[in-house]
Structure formats: structure tokens, C-alpha cells
Structure 1
Amino acid sequence: MHSKIKPFISKLVVLIIISITACMPTTDGSKKRPNIIIFFTDDQGYGDVGSYGAEGFETPHLDSLASDGIRFTNFYVPATVCTPSRAGLLTGRYPKRYNLHEAVLFPFSEGGLSLNEYTMAEMLRNNGYTTSIIGKWHLGHKEEYMPNNQGFDMFYGVPYSNDMDNYYYKNIDFQSPPLPFYRNKTVIESGPDQDYLTKRYTEEAIDQIKNRGGKPFFMYVAQNMPHTPLHASPAFRGKSEKGLYGDVIMELDWSVGQIVKTLKEQKIYDNTIFIFTSDNGPRIGSARPLRGKKAETWDGGQRVPGIVAWPGKIPKGVVSSEFTSTLDLFPTLAKISGSKIPADLELDGLDISDYLLDPKTTKLPERPFYFYARNGEMEAVRMGKWKLHIKKSIGWNTDKDGVFPVSLYNLDADIGEKNNVIDVFPEVVEELTNLMKEFETEFQ
């Protein structure tokens, strides 16, 4: 071989090797793809966070998180109660699409989230993420529906609500067992001391972060509190001016702070998307200045706190009035993480990643959002500033106030849904009524 060709070939081989290795996925995927944490509380109201106007207790860690990113003031969940809201979060689809939109699952229920549904955990795991759920599942307690069969590598927590612990359902003569506490598919405890649930979940989250390995991770921290019965560890009892409820919220805030502190100590906070929200409105907390509460399709039942932070990527200290929902998280996190969505998957959420990264110059499109009641029926729709209610199963006293009147509200001017302007804007009523009819035809 010619003497001048040898070094040329050697250089060429080196270049090819460099090119190939550059195209290969890095073993430490966390350097390329962000870690994702969704911190999901249970029955925490719109007004139960300091930066949203909470009174009687403080939430400094949540307020700090909000100052590190975007605090949404028009952030919604697709249901008024636990099970369908959690299903919507993990699928990006209205629970009506897979018949999980009515009421909640109980310890005597036989069903759960259909295995045909493609969950956020499955999507991220297929993209090389480690996936875990810590806390409350509530999407089916039969083994086939449990987290380890729905895309989660790890499960540490309970299968349903804390009030179902050893509860007797007299109408059907069913005695539920002591609340089972799982480590993956194994029950490691029955009837745990609920005073320590928030603390235990926090410690597990910290342990998983410290022992995360080389992959990026998705962690779904689904706290049981402040769902009743309320419980707080001894360190937080008596800390707030608002009794046990305030103590519970302050411990949840502490939990957020501990997780953020660990992320910073591990030097991965800047490469972690941290999302905080609640599954629905409050039962005993505050939704001020909204009307209604949990189980009602008034905004107090479905508009919740929504905070998204990703230091260095999402601008700091933004307060956004753009309409968004937990349905948007699936397509948004898919885009940000570079995960693939099946071509035939019909999502109801919108990819808002461009808005998160550049909220000053990006505008989200107006789109309808449908409100399904606890009984499974559609009761309202929101489009832009307008919200139309056509019926009301909960949250209206027919004995006192008579039949519920079809009602239209301008939420920009009337956040408390007090001033019915249906007679002033008949064309808006017609448009929104048609939207509801068209959407319902998809399920006939």
C-alpha cells in the first residue's frame, strides 16, 4: 500500500469511529433528556397555595418553585374526582374515551385503567426513562391494572384513597380490608399509620433520586393528602393557624422542598422538569375566589394550582392566564423528552412546550374543554373566556333554587361564576352548545 495512503486511511477510520459514536445514545441519558417529576396532591384547592392566596398557613417551597418557573391561573383537570382525573393525567385523553369517567374506583371494583391505554409512563420508559410512582394509584387495584403493568418500573404506595382503609360499605355489605401498602407487587404492610404517609413518600422519593443510576427518570409523586381523613406527622401538627388542614398542607410543602433540595444536592435540579398540581378541587380546603368544590363542575371543582419549573429552560417568575390542563402534559412531555407517540393515538391535550420555553412571544390557541360530572354526564364546556353550563347534578340546590338554568359566564370578568349573561350573548351559547353536541357524538 502506498505510504501516503496509510495515514489517510487511518485518519478516515478515526473520523468514522467518531461519527458513529457521536450518533450513539449516551449511557448517561440524563445529560440529554430532562428528568421529570409530577407532584400530585389529593383534593388540594386552587386557594390552598400561598402564591394563590392561601390564608392561615404558608407554602414557601411551592412559592419558591413558582418563582423558578410558570404559575398558571387557568390550569384544569378533566374530572371533579380522583380516578378519572388521574387517568386523564397519565393518558392525555378524556376518561370518557375509555369508560373511566364516572365516579371513582372502590375496593370492591373489578375494573381499572384499560391496558389498551398508552400511559405517560409507558411512553417515557420506551424512551429509556426509569419510571416510578410513589403514593396513591387509584386506577384499579386488581393486579392486571396495577402500576407495574401500566409502564411503571417501581411502585411504592397504596392502590386507592386513604378513606377506604378498612371501610364498611353498608349499601352492598362489603368490608374493605386494611389499606394495603405496596412495594411493587408485594404488600409490605396493611393499614399503615397515615400520620407518616407524606413523610414516607418523601423519603422514598429522595432515596430513588439518590440511587437513580445513569438513566433519566420520571417520578410521579401522588400524595394521599389532603384527602380526608387528614393526617400529618408529629413534626407538623399544630404548626399552622388553620388547624390540621393547614398542618397537612405545610407538610406537603415541606415534601416539595425536600425533593427540590435533593435535586440541587445531586446537581440535577437544572435538568429536571418539576410539575406541581392537584387532582381536583377541595373538599374542605379553599377554592377561593372560584365557585364550587370537589365533585362539582363549577370551576372550584376542576381549576387547580398548576406550577411548572425547569431552571435554565423555562423563564422564571411567570404568571400565566393561558388556558392549560393536565391533558396537555402527555404531549408536552413527549416533545420535551423526544419520546414517540403512536401515530394512531388520539390525544385530547395540546403540546405546550413552545409556550413553556417562550411564554412572552408564544400564544396558545383557544380550544374547547369539556366538564364531565361525577355521574359521567357532560355538564359544561369552556372556550376562551366563556363557560357554558347546561345542567348541574351536584352543586345546585333544586329544592331551594328550582331547576338549574342554562348559564353562561365570562370567566375573565367573572371568575366566581356569579353573573349569568346567557341572554346577552345568544350566539356564544349556540356555538358552545354545538361544540358539546359534536363532542358527544364521538361516543355514540
Structure 2
Amino acid sequence: MFYQLYEMNHAALQPARALADATRIFYSNPLNPVAHTTWGRSVAAMAELFERTTRRYGKPAFGLDATTVDGKTVPVAQKTVWSRPFCNLLHFERALPAGRQSDPRLLIVAPMSGHYATLLRGTVEAMLPHADVYITDWVDARMVPMTEGRFDLDDYIDYVIAMLHKLGPDIHVMAVCQPSVPVLAAVALMEARGDRFAPATMTLMGGPIDTRSHPTAVNVLAKEKGTEWFRDNVIMPAPWPVPGCGRMVYPGFLQLSGFMSMNLDRHIIAHKDFFVHLVKNDGDGADKHREFYDEYLAVMDLTAEFYLQTVDTVFVRHALPKGELTHRGVPVEPAAIRNTALLTVEGENDDISGIGQTRAAHALCANIPDAMKAHYMQPDVGHYGVFNGSRFRAQIVPRIVSFMASHGRGERARAKPRLVRSNGA
């Protein structure tokens, strides 16, 4: 009922938003003399600020039409190469010259934590010059009809395995934040059964492998409240008239509220500065604000079963580091990983996944040779800076590219003959 009231409130504000948008257009029209005054720009700024803060933001586009490879600009075409009800696999196909040596193929597993995969636009953009990039494009749960069934953490792991099978051998996988646990689980299951499609390298970035290490406010809240509290307070049916009406979900707007409340003063100052930029006619400052919040405020719903199972498994029971994680009744054993190289990346000021939480994967993956493991802690960045921004591009990307180049199956075979198991994996 609460979600339905939220939707009704949003619909009731539609006339006010339309009026605000018309006011903005009128007072910012260069043919209107008032638009060139401080008063006119102030009215237009107030109207835009109201419209933006009451709007429902739709799914953004990646908008990556070109990249630079070998110093030359090449076109990029976005294609869907695999699809299931809750996820599409996107390929950013680069138009490279015929005969050019192929780059490593990289599967980026985007977080399913309330934001769309486009939150990793900067990640994809930074990797395109160096790799043949694929990314998981998770679907808003409220847009999936109930006839498509459930989707939980076990299904997430199945999806990752299915995508790795689709892409074939000698693939590299990168998990950003939340998917670090299911990706590690997927690779462990594949290695345990000698699956030849297990990835050549696995890069885990700012992920909650063991949230007992330097717990953050997010970790403490989950541990203190417990799974049942979340079931009783944040799970609700998707409202009419969306395609998934009636599906039990964790609404994206609740997740967004939680994120914003963690740094509320910063968001208030950002919107105040946005108003000032508009009044001063500072187009660059205003455009940067729009670009960031168009992405940040676009949220999606998660299925209740996935959200609750993740909270219980990762944040409450710490099942993976305790050796208690199972997938459809089968134990998940990270020690089974022997042939997939492991790189972990953390941010010094990460307030979502604390220092040491991602690095914990190295202790769990005890049978990966030391020569196939690496860890990097990026100074002076928070959670977002682990996978985006200038420091990511300048200092983290080169390490990822070098790691993939050093530990690709082809490179490894040239350096040292690879042991072949009896089952041919």
C-alpha cells in the first residue's frame, strides 16, 4: 500500500512539474528580456530545481558511440548478445581494423543494488580502449511480470555462469561492489567441477566479501536490524499499473533514500550550488550537476527474494567467509579455485565496503598460486572512486589491464604449460 501511495503522490505532482517546466522555459528563453536578469534566472532556477527534485528518473543510456584504440577513434556499437527475464548481456563492439590482434575479452558484472548498469558508464568507457567489453544490464524488477517467476541470489549465480558459458573460454570477469560475492561463488562452483569456461582472471572491486572487516554504517545497520526487520519494513508489492504489479520488491526509491541520508549534507550543498550556478549562468557547473544526478537518481527495484537472501547471506550470517555458503544445496568452496587469477581493489575512504572486506578473498582462495594474486588499495578515494573518476582511470585501469595481459590463458600457456585435469578442463 505504501508503494502505491508513493506512485499516486508522484502522479499528483505531475501538473505542478509541468507548470514548473513551462516556467523554466519561459524565464530562460533568450528572446525574453527578463531571462537576462538575475531575477529571471532565479525564477528559472527555482522552477528547474523543483521539477528535478520531484521527477522520476528513467533508465539512462550508456551513450558510448566511440572510443580510442591505438591512438585512433573507432566507432562502438552497443548490442544485446544474451537475454533472460532479469538481465540482458550487452556487448560494446568496436569497429577495429581487420587483422589487428584481439584484445582481452572482459565481462563486467554490474551491481544489482538499486542503480542501473549505466552507473558504470565511466568504467566501461575507461576499459574500452584496452578490452572487448561486455556488461550485465540488470532489469528493473517492477518491469518483470510475475509470470516470469522468482529471482534470488542462487539465480544470480546461475546467470553469471550462463553468461560465462555464452562468452566461451579465456574470458576475464570484473565484479564491481555487490556482485563480488556471487561472482566469486560462480567461479568457485565452476572450478570445483572442472568447467573449462571458468574465467582466466577475476577482478573484485570494493566488494563485501567479508563485512566483518572494518564494518561500515551499511554493514552495522544490516547486522543490528536482522533479515526479518527488512522483510517487515522495506518489502512491498510493486504498484499498479507496472508490468510487475504484485511482485514483492525492495523499491529503488527506498535504497536511494538510504544512500542519500548517509551524506545528506553533501547532497543539500550540491543542490544549493546547482541553483547558484544557474543564477550565475555557469553552464559548466550546472551541466556537471545534471549529468551526475540524472544517473544517481535513476533507480530500479530489486526482487524481495534476492534482496533478503543477500542481506542474510552477506551481511548478517557472513556465510561466504565462514564457509557456510551454498548454491542450491551445493557448498561453495573458494579453495577450489586454482586456475583463475585474482585481483582485488579497494578504496582508502570507502564508506560502503570497508578496507579489508574485498581483500579477504585472497585468504578464502587459498589454492590460487601467489604469482596469480594481486591486491591494490587506492589512496584518497571513496566507494565511487574505486570504479570511476580520474584516479580510477590513471591508477587502477592500468593495473587491471596489466593483470589481464599477464594472466590470460594464452599468455599463461606461453609462459608455462598448463596442467590438464583428467576430465579435460
TM-score calculated relative to the size of structure 1: 0.26
* Higher fraction of helix: 2
TM-score calculated relative to the size of structure 2: 0.27
Q: Bigger relative contact order, structure 1 or 2, given CA contacts below 8 A and separation 6+?
A: 1
